[in-house]
C-alpha cells in the first residue's frame, strides 16, 4: 500500500494526499480555512463527518446547507444541542429519538410532565449557551454490548431499546461536552457551527408513533446558518398563519363549521358557495369537453353494495355506522365508485364502447376521529371530483396520459405551476396477479415518460388493488399538497364481475381507473384560499368590482356603471352607504375585491370611472370602454404552456 491516496474533487480535479488526511483538509487547499457553509463531506457518495480521515482513493464533495443533506445534518446536530440543553435543565428527562424534519427538527423525551412555554425558553437559552461554548462534536464507535451497558447505566432505557434493534455489531455515538447520544451521524464539527436556533413548541407524541405506547414529550425547533435566515423562516410561518383558510374563511365570510351542525361538516356561506360554483362549473364544462359523461348517485345505499366492493371489509373504520331502513341496512356512502360500477353494469358493454368515463362531483361521508379534523382540509363530509374510467387493458396508457394532461391543464388554471409526480408500485399486501401489476405499472410508466413528466418512484406505496400516480402541487408559499391521484384497479371489476364483449365475441374484464384532479372540493378550496391569501383571481372573486360613489349624489351614476358591468357579465356591488370614500376603500380592500371604481363629480360628468386595484395601485380615470377592455384582459388567465387540450 502506498503512502498517498488520490482524491477526486467535485469539478473532476484530483489531488494526491497523504493517507489519513481529513476530509475537511481535502476540501480546502490546505491554507485557506474551510468555507463556513460546508458542514460535512460526501465521500464516495456517502455523507461523512468533516474530520473523517481518508484512507483510500475516493471522490469527495462538500455538503452545504443549501442541499437537502446539508440541512439534515445541520438540523440533526441542532437537535442534539437542544437535547443536551434539555438534559442539562431537566436531568430526569430521558432521550428517545430526535430527527431532522422539513423546516427544522424535533426531539422526543420521556419526561414526567409536559414542557411549559417557560421550560422551552430555558431550554432555548441553554441551547444558545451550548452553541456559544463551541464544544467539539466527536464520533466514537462502541460494540453493541458496551453501548447497551453504557446507556443502561445512565438510565436511558429507550436508547437501550433502540440499540437492541440495530443489526450491526458496532454502533456509533456522538459526544459534545458531557452529552453523549447514540447516532449514526454525520454531524457538524462543533456546537458553535450552529449559528441560529429556535425552540418552537412542544406536543405529546407516542413512542414509535403507536398510541399503545407511552406518550412522550416532543419539542420542535428549527435552525439556520444565519440569524437573518432564521428570521425569514419565522416570518414565513407568520405568513402561513395569516393565510390560514380557517381565519380567512371567517374574515371573508366564505364558510363556517358550527358546533350545532357537527364537527367536520361544512356550511358554505354565499360567497364561498359562489366560488365553489365557479370551480364546479369550470370542472363540469371541461369534463364534458374531455369526453366524460357526468352522473349523479345517491348519498346512501344498501350496505350489501359495500360488502361487494370490499369497503365493509377493508374500510369499515372510516365509515359511519349503517342505519336500518325497513329491516335492511343502509350505508352513508364513503366512496362513489360502486355507483359508477352499477351504472356501467346497467347495460351489456362492447369493446367498442370503451373507454367509458363517468365523472361526478360526489359528496362522500367518512368517519374521521375527532382529533384529526382540520378546517376544510380534513372533514367528515366532502365532495370528490371523482371519475372512473372503464377501459380495455390496451387503453390504459393512453387514458392515463389523457388524465395526466388534463390534470395539468386544470391545475394551471387554478394558478399552480409547480408539480411533483410520483409513481407508486405494488405494496406488500396486494391483490391480483404479478402479471397484471407489471402490465399496468409499465403502462403508467410509459404514460409518464411519453408525456415527458419528471417523476419519482415510490416503491411499495401503491394501493392494494393497483399501482397509482399521485401529483403534488406547490402553493405560493412553497408548500406541497397532494390533490390529484390516478389509480389502476383490477380488483373491483373482479368483485362486481364487470365485463364487456370483445372483438372475439367472448367476455372480457375491463380495467377501472379511479381518478381525482382536485381531490376534495373542500380541501382544494382551502388550499386555494391559502395559495391566494384570500385574494382570488378575477374569475373566482365573489365580487369582481365594487363601485364606490363619493357622496350620495353620485349614487345614480354609480348604479348606471354597475348596470353596464352586469350587462357585460361581471359580478358588481355598489357601496350605497353614506360613508366617506376612504372607509369604503378600506372595506373593499379588506374584502379583497379585485377592482374598486370610485365615482364622483369628475367621473359622472365625462362618463368615466376612477380605477383602483386591490393591491393599492391607482390606474386613474378611464372611460367605460377602456375599463371593460381592461378587466376583460384580466379575465384571460395566466396559464402554463398548454392552454388548450386535444379532445
Element (H or E) spanning 640, and its range?
none
Could you give the CA distance from residue 298 to residue 367 in angstroms, rounded to a whole number?
18
For the bound state, the minimum distance from the C-beta of residue 149 to RNA, rounded and expressed in Å, comes to 30
Rg of the chain in Å (alpha carbons): 31
Question: Of the listed pieces 287-295, 444-452, 560-568, 597-605, which binds RNA according to CB under 7 A?
Answer: 597-605
Active site (annotated) includes residue 76: no
Q: Grid coordinates in use for 559?
A: 348604479
One of 177, 204, 497, 640 touching RNA (CB under 7 A): 204
Active site (annotated) includes residue 386: yes
Could you give the CA distance from residue 506 to residue 518 in angstroms, rounded to a whole number?
38
Binding-site size, RNA (CB under 7 A): 67
Question: Of the listed pieces 28-36, 41-49, 575-583, 634-642, which binds RNA according to CB under 7 A?
Answer: 575-583
Active site (annotated) includes residue 366: yes
Residues 57-86 that bind RNA (CB under 7 A): none
Q: Could you say whether residue 242 binds RNA (CB under 7 A)? A: no
82 neighbors 199 (Cβ within 8 angstroms): yes
One of 132, 580, 626, 637 touching RNA (CB under 7 A): 580
Q: Exactly one of 80, 276, 401, 468 is catalytic; which is it?
A: 468
Specify the 3-state DSSP secondary structure of 341.
Answer: helix
One of 340, 366, 426, 531 touching RNA (CB under 7 A): 366
Active site (annotated) includes residue 388: yes
Which among 507, 465, 473 has a CA at the least distance from the CA of 489? 465
Active site (annotated) includes residue 337: yes
Could you give the CA distance from residue 631 to residue 561 in angstroms, rounded to a whole number?
14
Residue among 86 and 599 whose Cβ is closer to RNA: 599
Strands (E), 405-530: 418-424, 455-458, 468-474, 480-489, 500-501, 507-508, 511-520
Residue among 62 and 462 whose Cβ is closer to RNA: 462
Question: Of the listed pieces 25-33, 172-180, 558-566, 573-581, which binds RNA according to CB under 7 A?
Answer: 573-581
Q: Could you say whether residue 497 binds RNA (CB under 7 A)? A: no
One of 128, 236, 269, 374 touching RNA (CB under 7 A): 374
Could you give the CA distance from residue 340 to residue 535 in angstroms, rounded to a whole number?
37
Could you give the CA distance from residue 300 to residue 338 in angstroms, rounded to a whole number?
12
Q: Exactly one of 357, 388, 515, 523 is catalytic; which is it?
A: 388
Q: Could you say whether residue 370 binds RNA (CB under 7 A)? A: yes
Q: Exactly one of 87, 276, 333, 514 is catalytic; which is it?
A: 514
> Which residues are 457's β-sheet partners?
423
144 neighbors 170 (Cβ within 8 angstroms): yes
Name the region of 55 (left: φ>0; alpha: ψ -120 to 50; beta: rest): alpha
One of 42, 80, 198, 218 touching RNA (CB under 7 A): 218
Residue among 184 and 553 whose Cβ is closer to RNA: 553
Which among 473, 415, 475 has a CA at the least distance from the CA of 638? 415
Q: Could you say whether residue 118 binds RNA (CB under 7 A)? A: no
One of 257, 294, 628, 630 touching RNA (CB under 7 A): 257
Residue among 370 and 567 whose Cβ is closer to RNA: 370
Residues 421-480 that bind RNA (CB under 7 A): none
Could you give the CA distance from residue 499 to residue 560 in angstroms, rounded to a whole number?
61
68 neighbors 62 (Cβ within 8 angstroms): no
One of 520, 541, 542, 545 touching RNA (CB under 7 A): 520
Could you give the CA distance from residue 595 to residue 605 in angstroms, rounded to a whole number?
21
88 neighbors 201 (Cβ within 8 angstroms): no
Q: Catalytic positions, please?
A: 337, 366, 384, 386, 388, 468, 514
Give contact residues for RNA (rule: CB under 7 A). 114, 201, 203-206, 209-211, 215, 218, 246, 250, 257, 259, 262-264, 366, 368-375, 377-380, 382, 384, 482-483, 485, 516, 519-520, 522-523, 550-553, 578-583, 585-586, 589-590, 596, 598-603, 610, 612, 616, 618, 621
Amino acid at each position: 500500500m502506498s503512502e498517498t491516496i488520490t482524491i477526486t474533487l467535485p469539478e473532476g480535479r484530483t489531488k494526491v494526499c497523504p493517507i489519513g488526511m481529513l476530509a475537511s483538509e481535502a476540501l480546502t487547499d490546505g491554507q485557506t480555512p474551510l468555507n463556513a457553509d460546508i458542514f460535512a463531506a460526501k465521500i464516495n457518495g456517502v455523507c461523512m463527518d468533516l474530520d473523517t480521515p481518508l484512507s483510500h482513493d475516493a471522490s469527495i464533495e462538500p455538503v452545504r446547507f443549501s442541499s437537502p443533506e446539508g440541512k439534515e445534518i445541520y438540523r440533526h446536530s441542532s437537535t442534539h444541542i437542544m437535547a443536551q440543553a434539555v438534559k442539562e435543565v431537566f436531568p430526569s428527562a430521558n432521550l428517545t429519538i430526535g430527527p431532522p424534519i422539513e423546516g427544522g427538527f424535533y426531539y422526543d423525551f420521556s419526561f414526567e410532565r409536559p414542557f411549559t412555554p417557560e421550560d422551552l425558553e430555558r431550554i432555548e437559552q441553554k441551547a444558545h449557551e451550548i452553541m456559544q461554548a463551541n464544544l467539539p462534536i466527536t464520533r466514537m464507535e462502541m460494540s453493541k454490548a458496551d453501548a447497551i451497558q453504557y446507556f443502561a447505566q445512565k438510565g436511558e432505557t429507550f436508547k437501550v431499546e433502540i440499540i437492541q434493534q440495530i443489526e450491526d455489531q458496532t454502533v456509533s455515538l456522538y459526544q459534545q461536552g458531557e452529552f453523549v447520544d447514540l447516532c449514526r451521524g454525520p454531524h457538524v464539527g462543533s456546537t458553535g457551527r450552529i449559528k441560529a436556533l429556535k425552540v418552537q413548541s412542544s406536543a405529546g407524541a407516542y413512542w414509535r408513533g403507536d398510541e399503545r405506547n407511552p406518550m412522550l414529550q416532543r419539542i420542535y425547533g428549527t435552525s439556520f446558518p444565519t440569524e437573518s435566515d432564521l428570521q425569514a423562516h419565522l416570518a414565513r410561518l407568520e405568513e402561513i398563519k395569516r393565510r390560514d383558510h380557517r381565519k380567512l374563511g371567517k374574515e371573508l365570510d366564505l364558510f363556517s363549521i358550527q358546533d350545532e351542525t357537527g364537527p367536520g361538516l361544512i356550511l358554505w356561506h354565499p360567497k364561498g358557495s359562489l366560488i365553489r360554483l365557479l370551480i364546479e362549473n369550470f370542472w363540469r364544462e371541461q369534463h364534458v369537453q374531455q369526453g366524460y359523461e357526468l352522473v349523479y348517485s345517491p348519498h346512501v345505499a344498501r350496505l350489501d353494495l359495500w360488502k361487494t366492493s370490499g369497503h365493509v371489509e377493508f374500510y369499515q373504520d372510516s365509515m359511519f355506522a349503517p342505519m336500518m331502513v325497513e329491516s335492511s341496512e343502509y350505508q352513508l356512502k364513503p366512496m362513489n365508485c360502486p355507483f359508477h360500477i352499477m351504472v356501467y353494469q346497467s347495460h351489456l358493454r362492447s369493446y367498442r364502447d370503451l373507454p367509458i368515463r363517468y365523472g361526478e362531483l360526489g359528496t362522500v361521508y367518512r368517519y374521521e376521529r375527532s382529533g384529526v379534523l382540520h378546517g376544510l382540509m380534513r372533514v367528515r363530509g366532502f365532495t370528490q371530483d371523482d371519475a372512473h374510467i372503464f377501459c380495455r387493458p390496451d387503453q390504459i396508457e393512453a387514458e392515463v396520459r389523457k388524465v395526466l394532461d388534463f390534470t395539468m391543464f386544470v391545475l394551471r388554471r387554478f394558478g399552480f405551476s409547480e408539480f411533483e409526480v410520483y409513481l407508486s408500485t405494488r405494496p406488500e399486501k396486494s391483490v391480483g396477479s404479478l402479471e397484471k401489476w407489471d402490465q399496468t405499472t409499465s403502462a403508467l410508466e410509459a404514460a409518464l415518460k411519453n408525456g415527458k413528466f419528471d417523476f419519482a418512484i415510490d416503491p411499495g406505496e401503491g394501493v392494494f388493488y393497483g399501482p397509482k400516480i399521485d401529483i403534488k402541487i406547490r402553493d405560493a408559499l412553497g408548500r406541497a399538497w397532494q390533490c390529484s391521484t390516478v389509480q389502476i384497479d383490477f380488483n373491483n371489476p373482479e368483485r362486481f364481475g364487470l365485463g364487456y364483449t370483445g372483438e372475439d365475441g367472448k367476455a372480457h374484464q375491463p380495467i377501472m381507473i379511479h381518478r381525482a384532479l382536485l381531490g376534495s372540493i373542500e380541501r382544494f378550496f382551502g388550499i386555494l384560499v391559502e395559495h391566494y391569501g384570500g385574494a382570488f383571481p378575477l374569475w373566482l372573486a365573489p365580487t369582481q368590482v365594487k363601485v364606490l360613489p363619493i357622496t350620495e349624489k353620485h349614487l345614480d351614476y354609480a348604479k348606471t356603471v354597475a348596470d353596464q358591468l352586469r350587462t357585460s357579465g361581471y359580478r358588481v356591488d355598489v357601496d350605497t352607504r353614506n360613508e366617506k370614500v376612504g372607509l369604503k376603500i378600506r372595506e373593499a380592500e379588506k374584502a379583497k375585491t379585485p377592482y374598486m371604481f370610485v365615482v364622483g363629480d369628475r367621473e359622472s360628468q365625462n362618463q368615466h370611472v376612477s380605477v383602483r386595484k386591490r393591491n393599492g395601485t391607482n390606474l386613474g380615470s378611464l372611460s367605460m370602454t377602456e375599463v371593460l377592455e381592461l378587466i376583460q384582459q384580466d379575465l384571460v388567465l395566466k396559464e402554463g404552456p398548454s392552454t388548450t387540450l386535444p379532445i
